Structure 1
Amino acid sequence: MKTNPGRFFEDYSLGQVIAHAVPRTVSGGERALYHALYPARHALYSSDEFARSCGLRAAPMDDLIAFHTVFGKTVPDISLNAIANLGYAEGRWLKPVWPGDTLRSESEVIGLKQNSNGKSGVVWVRTRGLNQQGDTVMDYVRWVMVRKRDAGAPAPETVVPELKSTVPAADIVVPEGLDFTRYDFTLAGEPHRWGDYAVGEKIDHVDGVTVEEAEHMLATRLWQNTAKVHFDATNREDGKRLIYGGHVISLARALSFNGLANAQVIVALNAGAHANPCFSGDTVRAWSEVLDKAETAAPGVGAIRLRLVAVKQGAPDFALKGEDGKYLPEVLLDLDYWALMPM
């Protein structure tokens, strides 16, 4: 058999390291497509001259371009037969990705737990994205519910990794040379700086985007994400193609520009949950909550920890979970991340 049906739960073993195909060289083409797919307009990623004024050699690739590219490499080996992508933790962006860089990915299995129904299990992996020099540009943990090929296959020993609830501010990596002391707030689009935000503050990002089938299909192909639930309408009983969770992340991040235009650089992913499925025709809106703030050693650069929530249809009311502790049905995404902002 020469075709690859993808891995099932019983194909994973603790400590297994998987080198993912296929390396990909990213360019201005990915940036142009990204900015066409999402209303993304953070200045540091839009203008070489703005980025140079902030101490960088040019505008790097958007942080989520790096994430989607690294993530997409892992799908054929980790989540081709996934039922659900359950969460993220301990994610860090370690080096900027520049046009012309070639990215590849590798993952280590760090946890396994068979579900009580015996038909599926949860796999935890730590994924690293590497550039052409072999430098790690980002790493993160995610866990995925994966189908079993044979329900009668014996369950592995249960190992659930202990993960940090948040990346400590001291472990944040600021891009080399980043300097916000000459930051141009007019060109960036908003006057609000690090000191203008208070822990506990909530921001309604106001705008919304209705998801179209063609756009999410283009995005999923762009990141070479081959998960069956995103392409094959017969793979789900409802006959719908599930919107790639990363598409919702990028939509919400782009919408957050209105109110957080100066949260320029994503540097850590503390936690994340795709709370409910998103389908074509849903209108995505977003709100953010300030969870924490920290100073950095870089000139003029502060770190801000944000909860980014994407909801569907109506205007956000800042509600997240019901009395039962479960996410409300309109909540699509709950993402906890650190960003860098001028002080």
Structure 2
Amino acid sequence: MVHAVPRTVGPGERALYTALYPSRFALYSSDVFARACGLPASPLEDLAAFHVVFGKSVPDVSLNAVANLGYAEGRFLAPVWPGDTLATSSEVIGLKQNSNGKSGVVWVRSTGVNQHGAAVMSYVRWVMVRKRAPDAPAPETVVPELAGAVAAEDLVLPPGLDFTGYDFAAAGSPHAWEDYAIGERIDHVDGVTVEEAEHMMATRLWQNTAKVHFNATFREDGRRLIYGGHVISLARALSYNGLGNAQIIAAINAGSHANPCFAGTTVRAWSEVLDKAETAAPGVGALRLRLVATRAQSAGFALRDTDGRYLPEVLLDLDIWALMPRRG
């Protein structure tokens, strides 16, 4: 299905993204810094482009969703520049009715393209939606087989990217790819309290019309559910403290919105280094990171209970590949 209302993005989206999330990554803040890294200018932040592409799919996929559950096989295929026009199409690749017979899970693969028809990103997500008629027969169950992670050799790097002359002082962090070890965990220390007004502004900015984010009467508890992408961007922004040179998100390997988030929640974040890979781009290495957002009031790296279920304070469990400078 081709989703309606393509959108041209510009400097306004960049300014509003920075206003909504405490993002400080230099590549997305400075044209001068980006040019020194081999790019023609500073592109739109990866997740800002993701939100725009995601928002296009909402009216056809998740307008009446109970919740957006997770992601897989996400790849950022080309930078998005101010002035680009983004459009989205999606394909349903899986269906499974829940045991209650009143709802089910739908898997879709969405692709965002620019005005030239070139793909800028592709990802799979799955959502829980209500059945139109609870007594209707269940559709045939189809659960797609999804890769556990994007292979490092399948990462797409922006053309011309070159970190050999990387300015660590301007970026605000001294740590390079070599400084991180597989298994290392990083407490990002800071926290951001989610405000109702900021969330409402964000969902309107991204044209995300899902009713659970706008209509306080849609849920039985009378609360507006915070858009999961809002939590992703908050966690990514918080990760600057410890991963300030992880400049580019190249892939979303997997992700789960483990528990709902509501206004008034203070979001904190920590990361775990899952893997490392070299790339063909000069001076560029890739880190595979588990980025976890939590509402816990004290530092810690707990994720699941003894039965393997997410702890109630865990909001997001996101597995990504990020690109950063190498010294070698």
**Does the CA contact (< 8 Å) of 1:90 and 1:140 recur in 2?**
yes
Q: CA deviation at 1:315?
A: 2.6
Distance 1:114 1:242 in 2: 23
Q: How does 1:174-323 map to 2 (within 5 A)?
A: 174-323=157-306
Match of 1:67, SS state, is helix
Could you tell me which residue of structure 1 aligns to residue 53 of structure 2?
Answer: 70
**Does the CA contact (< 8 Å) of 1:252 and 1:308 recur in 2?**
yes
1:39 to 19, 22, 32: 22
Output the amino acid matched with 2:290. Answer: R
Could you tell me which residue of structure 2 aligns to residue 56 of structure 1?
Answer: 39
**Does the CA contact (< 8 Å) of 1:286 and 1:310 recur in 2?**
yes
Distance 1:109 1:236 in 2: 26
Q: CA deviation at 1:173?
A: 0.4
Match of 1:19, SS state, is coil
Distance 1:315 1:56 in 2: 40
**Does the CA contact (< 8 Å) of 1:119 and 1:148 recur in 2?**
yes
Q: CA deviation at 1:313?
A: 4.2
TM normalised by structure 1 equals 0.94
Q: How does 1:114-153 map to 2 (within 5 A)?
A: 114-153=97-136
Distance 2:203 2:274 in 1: 31
Structure 1 portions without partners, runs of 5+: 1-17
Could you tell me which residue of structure 2 aligns to residue 99 of structure 1?
Answer: 82
Task: Tell me if 1:334 matches 2:317.
Answer: yes
Output the amino acid matched with 1:149. Answer: R
After superposing the two structures, state which structure 1 stretch, 52-61 or 111-120, moved more. Answer: 111-120
Distance 2:67 2:269 in 1: 22
Distance 2:298 2:174 in 1: 25
Q: CA deviation at 1:81?
A: 1.2
Could you tell me which residue of structure 2 aligns to residue 89 of structure 1?
Answer: 72
Distance 2:184 2:272 in 1: 6
Deviations 1:240-259 (A, max 9, x none): 11100000000000000000
Match of 1:234, SS state, is coil
Task: Tell me if 1:28 matches 2:11.
Answer: yes
Distance 1:332 1:22 in 2: 31
Match of 1:92, SS state, is strand
Distance 1:313 1:111 in 2: 34
After superposing the two structures, state which structure 1 stretch, 261-270 or 108-117, moved more. Answer: 108-117
Q: CA deviation at 1:323?
A: 0.6
Distance 2:307 2:205 in 1: 38
Output the amino acid matched with 1:144. Answer: V
**Does the CA contact (< 8 Å) of 1:45 and 1:59 recur in 2?**
yes
After superposing the two structures, state which structure 1 stretch, 207-216 or 115-124, moved more. Answer: 115-124
Output the amino acid matched with 2:232. Answer: I
After superposing the two structures, state which structure 1 stretch, 150-159 or 291-300, moved more. Answer: 150-159
Distance 1:90 1:122 in 2: 18
2:93 to 110, 130, 144: 110
Deviations 1:149-178 (A, max 9, x none): 101222111111100000000100011000
Q: CA deviation at 1:181?
A: 0.2
Could you tell me which residue of structure 2 aligns to residue 13 of structure 1?
Answer: none
Pairwise CA RMSD of aligned residues?
0.6
Distance 1:81 1:62 in 2: 28
Q: CA deviation at 1:61?
A: 0.2
**Does the CA contact (< 8 Å) of 1:206 and 1:315 recur in 2?**
no
Q: CA deviation at 1:117?
A: 1.6
The ranges of structure 1 where at least 4 consecutive aligned residues each deviate by more than 4 angstroms after the TM superposition are none
Output the amino acid matched with 1:46. Answer: S
Structure 2 portions without partners, runs of 5+: none
Distance 2:298 2:193 in 1: 13
